[in-house]
Amino acid sequence: MDEKDSIISSSSSTTTGTTSSAIIDPMAGLNGIKNYTFKNWAGIFSCKPQLFFQPSNIDEVTKIILNAYKEGKTFTVIGSGHSPSDLCCANPNGWLVNLDKLNRVLDFKVYDGGNYADITVEAGLRVYKLNEILGAKGYTIQNLGSISEQSVAGITATGTHGSSAFHGLVSSQYVNLTIINGKGELIYLDSETNQDVFRAALLSLGKIGVIVKATIRAIPKYKIKSTQEVIHFETLLEKWDDIWTSSEFIRCWWYPYTRKCVLWRGNKTTEQVHEVTRKSWWGTKFGRIFYECLLWISVKIYPGITPFVESFVFNRQYGAVETFGNGDVAIQDSIDGLNMDCLFSQFVDEWGCPLLNGPEVLRSLDHSIQQAASNKEFYVHVPIEVRCSNTTLPPHQLDYSHRTSTSKGAVYGNILRPYLDATPRDLQYAEHVTNNQLTLYINATIYRPFGANTPIHKWFTLFEHTMGAAGGKPHWAKNFLGDVSMLPKGVKPKEKYLDYEMRGMASEIIKWYGEDLIKWQQIRKQQDPNGVFLANKDWCIRNGILEI
């Protein structure tokens, strides 16, 4: 079995889980596994639920929910466990439910003379499998994040995004969802049927219902012709107004200690696939181990060498010469172009703010990073990812009949904003895309070389203050920290926190989401009156998504 295929194997350690014995649990009447330890992808967070379930059909999911409902039990449903935070953990008396075995294709229909197609799948299917299945039919997912390991349910549940001024959250490609709510009821959701619940479930954090099926809108398979340029940090800021809409897909990796960035821009093309000399130094066995060793030394022995390590690695990977306007060109299958090598286990704190605030934010972060290094206060790892998306939505579905194989932009699966969409609310849709519509994402990555925890608290706290002041909000899945001063009234902070432990952001989250959060909470309560999905209640309280 491919390691990516399942988060559990029968007897030994796997990507994210270990188990020792399978039992028939009398209460559930289902195969619940005891002594299962879940670990998220980064290996930072783990938990040992009372029972672990991997149902293989909808009836089994319903049974688990009904048993939990009846017995006053709680559980967390997980996909591939790629969320960096402790979002997926369950309390020791709670259960964990994983849908890896719900991975069938249920339907496939082509529309508009082949301009798009809707594929209905069971929601535990991994995205890389979906890519293969669609590819065999001549179609592909429209836009993706940096990886394809996630599950179809998980990728929508936290607001996963790629990087494009012409596409929004991955959830905007979802035409419908079928959930089983906390009462065991199977409910179909789309833009017309149960619209409010659909808006809540599109970004649900697993708290509205177990998503068992989803229909995703795909487009004909495409290739991406990309250029990759090494540019100066100042060039990025000077060209800010023009860069983001210059290509359909775009991302920028910022290396503060070298004062350089790598700018990757791509468009759909009909040209033949042609990989160029874009060799990856850290893609080789030697480069990768050497890089991780250097990081380990900088984390465990001498933090002061971090800027030198990062500059050395940058030069090995990209070279020292600036290539703005003259980058290397590659033509790749869309998935290969959009996904990337994320290297090592890592902490990530990603926030989205209006793109117009970008230059000011980046200058401020740059100043803080340089200052911190000269004061030996903290060091950052690289790259800091700078990306964008366009989560503004048209007032009605668009006419897709004139699309060609290289047309830019989304064929929307739905045009509803999820209640918990973390991107700025007041950006307005316009047919002609401009920077005014865009969300800027900045992703601060800190590696854990060979699993060693690098201190993050000082850097992430500063980062969060800067992003918050720029109108930003955190990505729900990531390692945002917050502060004990943001805990809800009546919630006592812990006496001691680990450096990387999330304190919580309740007061800010309540302020930021306002009426939308209240609506989401109401729907949550209706769909899950007994709190079956609250096996990680602590996470929910510290972040204000539950009333206490």
Ligand X SMILES: Cc1cc2nc3c(=O)[nH]c(=O)nc-3n(C[C@H](O)[C@H](O)[C@H](O)COP(=O)(O)OP(=O)(O)OC[C@H]3O[C@@H](n4cnc5c(N)ncnc54)[C@H](O)[C@@H]3O)c2cc1C
Binding interface with ligand X (CB under 6 A): 41, 76-84, 87-88, 99, 123, 145-147, 150-151, 153-155, 157-158, 160-161, 204-206, 210-211, 342, 475, 477
The residue among 204 and 247 lying less far from ligand X, judged by its C-beta, is 204
Report residue 543 as tokens: 């972040």
The residue among 76 and 334 lying less far from ligand X, judged by its C-beta, is 76
Query: Measured from the CB of residue 103, what is the shortest distance to ligand X in angstroms?
Result: 11
The residue among 96 and 373 lying less far from ligand X, judged by its C-beta, is 96
The residue among 101 and 232 lying less far from ligand X, judged by its C-beta, is 101
The residue among 220 and 383 lying less far from ligand X, judged by its C-beta, is 383
Closest by CA position to 102, among listed 205, 159, 180: 180
Q: How many C-beta atoms surround the C-beta of residue 326 within 10 A?
A: 11
Query: Measured from the CB of residue 130, what is the shortest distance to ligand X in angstroms?
Result: 12
Report residue 105 as tokens: 């294709």
Query: Measured from the CB of residue 78, what is the shortest distance to ligand X in angstroms?
Result: 4
Query: Measured from the CB of residue 536, what is the shortest distance to ligand X in angstroms?
Result: 8
Residue 545 and residue 521 in contact, taking contact as beta carbons nearer than 8 Å: yes
Q: Is 86 helix (H, G, I), strand (E, B) or coil?
A: helix
Q: How far apart are CA 167 and CA 524, in angstroms?
A: 28
Question: Tokens 């991994």 sit at which residue?
Answer: 126
Number of H helices, E strands in the chain: 13, 22
Strands 95-98 and 75-78: parallel
Report residue 87 as tokens: 């979002």
Q: How far apart are CA 353 and CA 401, in angstroms?
A: 34
Query: Measured from the CB of residue 96, what is the shortest distance to ligand X in angstroms?
Result: 10
Residues with Cβ < 8 Å from 84, sequence gap 6 or more? 40, 41, 42, 44, 346, 347, 348, 477, 478, 479
The residue among 121 and 373 lying less far from ligand X, judged by its C-beta, is 121
Query: Measured from the CB of residue 155, what is the shortest distance to ligand X in angstroms?
Result: 5
Residue 115 and residue 102 in contact, taking contact as beta carbons nearer than 8 Å: no
Query: Measured from the CB of residue 372, what is the shortest distance to ligand X in angstroms?
Result: 25
395 backbone dihedrals φ, ψ, rounded to 5°:
-70, -20
Cis preceding-peptide flag for 418 (omega within 30 of 0): no
Torsion on CA atoms 226, 232, 238, 244, rounded to nearest 10: 20
Query: Measured from the CB of residue 159, what is the shortest distance to ligand X in angstroms?
Result: 6
The residue among 265 and 403 lying less far from ligand X, judged by its C-beta, is 265
The residue among 87 and 523 lying less far from ligand X, judged by its C-beta, is 87
CA distances from 95 to 53, 75, 546 (A): 8, 4, 20
Residues with Cβ < 8 Å from 473, sequence gap 6 or more? 351, 352, 353, 422, 423, 424, 509, 512
Q: How far apart are CA 83 and CA 64, in angstroms?
A: 23
In DSSP terms, 151 is beta-bridged to: 126
The residue among 54 and 160 lying less far from ligand X, judged by its C-beta, is 160
Closest by CA position to 473, among listed 518, 428, 533, 427: 427
The residue among 28 and 87 lying less far from ligand X, judged by its C-beta, is 87
The residue among 80 and 247 lying less far from ligand X, judged by its C-beta, is 80
The residue among 247 and 439 lying less far from ligand X, judged by its C-beta, is 439
355 backbone dihedrals φ, ψ, rounded to 5°:
-60, -30
Burial of 58 (C-beta count, 10 Å sphere; 0-12/13-18/19+)? middle
Question: Tokens 């998980």 sit at which residue?
Answer: 154
Query: Measured from the CB of residue 439, what is the shortest distance to ligand X in angstroms?
Result: 11
Strands 223-232 and 174-180: unpaired
Residue 399 and residue 417 in contact, taking contact as beta carbons nearer than 8 Å: no
Query: Measured from the CB of residue 160, what is the shortest distance to ligand X in angstroms?
Result: 4
Query: Measured from the CB of residue 263, what is the shortest distance to ligand X in angstroms?
Result: 17
The residue among 134 and 388 lying less far from ligand X, judged by its C-beta, is 388
Query: Measured from the CB of residue 496, what is the shortest distance to ligand X in angstroms?
Result: 26
Query: Measured from the CB of residue 41, what is the shortest distance to ligand X in angstroms?
Result: 5
How large is the C-alpha radius of gyration of the chain?
23
